[in-house]
Amino acid sequence: MKVYGIILLFLMGLFLASCKDLDEMNIDPNGIDPSIANPSQLLPTVISRSGSAVTNLGFGDISGVMQQTQKDGWSGGHNDFAWQSSSHNGVWLSLYQNLSDSKEMLHKAEEANNDFFRGTALIMMAYNFGYIADLWGDAPFSEALRNDEGIMSPKYDSQFDIYKGILNYLDQANTLLSKNQSEYNTIANGQDILYAGNVSKWRKFANSLSIRYNLRLSEKESSFAQANIGRILGDPAKYPLILEVADEAAFAYPGNNPSSSWPTNIVGNTDLSSDYHRRKMCSTLVEEMRQHNDPRLGVWANRVELPLHLDESKSDTYDNVEDVVFTINGETTTVRCRVIGKGVADDYVEKYDEPVNYNLDFIGMPPNWTTLSLFAYNVSPVTYQGRPNPHCSMLNDIYKLASHELLKSRMLSAAEVHFDLAEIALKGWGGNASSHYNDAIRTSFETWGVANGYATYIAQPGAAFAGTLEQIITQKWVASWSATCEAWFDWRRTGYPAFETVGQGAKQEVIPIRLYYPTNEETTNAEKLRGALSNFEDTRYSLEEPDNEAFPVMKKNSAWAKMWLLQGTSKPW
């Protein structure tokens, strides 16, 4: 497969131009040629591009799949799973580009006998290969990026072998980074945009990734995963973990140019059909958070601009906007509302088979609501798709910005690690499930600046630990906001959250479980690809999927075909 060998030439325009990332962090705005760059120049590019690729996907299509957001304009890939083999080409290419640069960084670090860059290169290789295995299944691994050795069409390694390989990388990295800080050469000019050269924090990142991937394997290869997890948890001095917000693998978007800005920003864009404007909160997430008065909701979403109020004495009223007095928790408050008559409400229910939502605070759009008129949700006056809906919650205004202290690529959070450890404890593999569950929510609240709301929240029935896997994974799904790929992978292996519906307009009646292999694989590595596809398991949903004329390799290249990790597990459906 030529893309692994000539990827720097093929993607020069696409990726190096887009990697004018974080120029305030000393990355060459004209891009860096890996063949002449030193490791300290390669590291920030690898970090920023790796994190951005995963954030763009997680806050993009996967946020729709996992019912955190929905779009009411140009919504097919986000809401409806209307993907094709070309839909996520850029993700595949970006991850392999990151691996190419990481391998070059590793090579230069080995030449210089620099253990810091050897360790960080291995961690970034594990991070990118891990997502490739997570998103597609089998993929080029052992023979990838070896064009210089004449391997132009690399074999596809099994998903399990890739996971074992990245766990080996992470073990090596932990050892390489285990010396005292003073024994490492100081990284120049703040090029480490994650940890400023702090080897202890990089070790925590490595071992926390090991926990992530061993937990991935915990149902399919239980003994293997349990032994690895037990080794890590049994020696916390040797295997430190990310347990506090200060140690999270996350970097901020500086917002200096389009490629270093938050993906939904509208800076300089007056189009009311921008990605920000067409994206609404999903009712599944909103209602889960509303029932527990979760203060993070107000950080992620705007309150409804103009709530609806029903006046049953009127029939066809719609245009009236009035101040309405409500009694809430024993106190009176006045809210500016659009007053609608019973006839208007009844007509809406009859047409869309959906109740009118009269919430005064936050309202989400139901998943895959309807193909009739997405932009008409909740008696909206909008007559064109993708415009602001005054009767539905938009994303918080911070998501209009190019940069903000909360706009970060969250590659691995303390909350994720604590939720993982809570699940591990629930399995009986060590630790205290309740303590880790509480710490997961605490660190998530700290991450989003609402730490003062934690004590009240955790004391509520439903939020207080009940000792079930469903509660752990559902809370982890909430906390995965803007890093939603992890929630998708958790849902695949556990079936949680237990979504009530995928909605009226979805391509299939169940959520997809993988991405399609990209179209360029058909032309560059077709034989090896066919071998990989033969390892997938058809499901009733993959067999129902229509042939893809643009990619007629095999039926098993389906978003509903089961990869090795799910075969024989009866999950997620």
Classify residue 558: in a domain, yes or no.
Answer: no
Structural contact between residues 154 and 5, judged by C-beta atoms closer than 8 angstroms = no
- Give the per-residue pLDDT at 469: 98
- β-partners of residue 412 are 249
Do 365 and 283 belong to one domain?
A: yes
**Does the pLDDT at position 22 exceed 60?**
no
According to DSSP, residue 453 is labeled: G
Query: Range of 345's domain?
Result: 276-400
Do 283 and 355 belong to one domain?
A: yes
Do 396 and 417 belong to one domain?
A: no
Average the pLDDT over 354-382 and give the result: 91
Confidence tier at 315 by pLDDT (50, 70, 90): confident
Helix axes 283-290, 469-479, angle to 10 degrees: 110
Do 370 and 419 belong to one domain?
A: no
- Give the per-residue pLDDT at 552: 46
- Give the per-residue pLDDT at 546: 60
Do 424 and 386 belong to one domain?
A: no
Residue 289, burial from CB neighbour count under 10 angstroms (0-12, 13-18, 19+): buried
Cβ-defined contacts of 517-521 (< 8 Å, 24+): 517/85, 517/92, 517/136, 517/551, 517/557, 518/85, 518/86, 518/88, 518/89, 518/92, 518/93, 519/85, 519/86, 519/89, 519/550, 519/551, 520/3, 520/89, 520/93, 521/1
Average the pLDDT over 18-34 and give the result: 42
Do 473 and 418 belong to one domain?
A: yes
Confidence tier at 23 by pLDDT (50, 70, 90): very low
Classify residue 53: in a domain, yes or no.
Answer: no
**Does the pLDDT at position 174 exceed 60?**
yes
Residue bearing the bigger pLDDT, 62 or 506: 62
d(C-alpha 126, C-alpha 58), whole Å: 18
Which tens digit of pLDDT belongs to each residue from 131-161? 999 999 999 999 999 998 999 999 999 999 9
306-344 b/e (C-beta count within 10 Å ≥ 16 → b): ebbbbbeeeeebeeeeeebeeeeeeeeeebebbbbbeeb
Q: Where are the alpha helices (DSSP H) in 246-363?
A: 275-278, 283-290, 297-300, 342-352
Which tens digit of pLDDT belongs to each residue from 201-255? 999 999 999 999 999 999 999 999 999 999 999 999 999 999 999 999 999 999 9
**Does the pLDDT at position 166 exceed 80?**
yes
Classify residue 337: in a domain, yes or no.
Answer: yes
| Number of domains, the chain | 2
**Does the pLDDT at position 26 exceed 80?**
no
Which tens digit of pLDDT belongs to each residue from 275-301? 999 999 999 999 999 999 999 999 999
Do 420 and 394 belong to one domain?
A: no
Residue bearing the bigger pLDDT, 317 or 455: 455
Average the pLDDT over 195-199 and give the result: 95
Helix axes 485-494, 469-479, angle to 10 degrees: 160
**Does the pLDDT at position 18 exceed 60?**
no
Do 371 and 475 belong to one domain?
A: no
Residue 206, burial from CB neighbour count under 10 angstroms (0-12, 13-18, 19+): buried
- Give the per-residue pLDDT at 34: 67
**Does the pLDDT at position 10 exceed 50?**
no
- Three-state SS at 408: strand
Classify residue 125: in a domain, yes or no.
Answer: no
Which tens digit of pLDDT belongs to each residue from 263-274? 999 998 888 889
Classify residue 565: in a domain, yes or no.
Answer: no
**Does the pLDDT at position 3 exceed 60?**
no
**Does the pLDDT at position 457 exceed 50?**
yes
Residue bearing the bigger pLDDT, 456 or 187: 456
d(C-alpha 124, C-alpha 510), whole Å: 33
- Give the per-residue pLDDT at 142: 98
Q: Which two tokens stand for residue 4?
A: 């692994």
Structural contact between residues 194 and 246, judged by C-beta atoms closer than 8 angstroms = no
Q: Write down which residue in 400, 427, 445 finishes a domain.
A: 400
Q: Write down which residue in 355, 379, 400 finishes a domain.
A: 400
- Give the per-residue pLDDT at 84: 84
- Give the per-residue pLDDT at 97: 96
Do 425 and 490 belong to one domain?
A: yes
**Does the pLDDT at position 29 exceed 50?**
no
Structural contact between residues 505 and 371, judged by C-beta atoms closer than 8 angstroms = yes
CA distances from 98 to 183, 285, 376, 558 (A): 28, 32, 42, 26
Confidence tier at 1 by pLDDT (50, 70, 90): very low
**Backbone phi, then psi, for 55, in 5-degree steps?**
-65, -45
Do 320 and 383 belong to one domain?
A: yes
Confidence tier at 441 by pLDDT (50, 70, 90): very high
The fraction of the chain above a pLDDT of 70, given in percent, is 91
Do 425 and 324 belong to one domain?
A: no
Please tell me the least confidently modeled range out of 3-17, 100-114, 185-199, 501-515.
Answer: 3-17
Q: Which amino acid is at 165?
A: G
Classify residue 488: in a domain, yes or no.
Answer: yes
For residue 548, how many other CB atoms are within 10 A of its CB? 17
CA 91 to chain centre: 12
**Does the pLDDT at position 529 exceed 50?**
yes
Classify residue 368: in a domain, yes or no.
Answer: yes
Q: What is the CA radius of gyration of the chain?
A: 24
Which tens digit of pLDDT belongs to each residue from 242-262? 999 999 999 999 999 988 999
d(C-alpha 377, C-alpha 299), whole Å: 23
Do 433 and 476 belong to one domain?
A: yes
**Does the pLDDT at position 347 exceed 70?**
yes
**Does the pLDDT at position 92 exceed 50?**
yes
Structural contact between residues 169 and 127, judged by C-beta atoms closer than 8 angstroms = no
508-530 b/e (C-beta count within 10 Å ≥ 16 → b): beebbbbbbbbbbbbebbeebbb
Q: Write down which residue in 368, 400, 432 finishes a domain.
A: 400
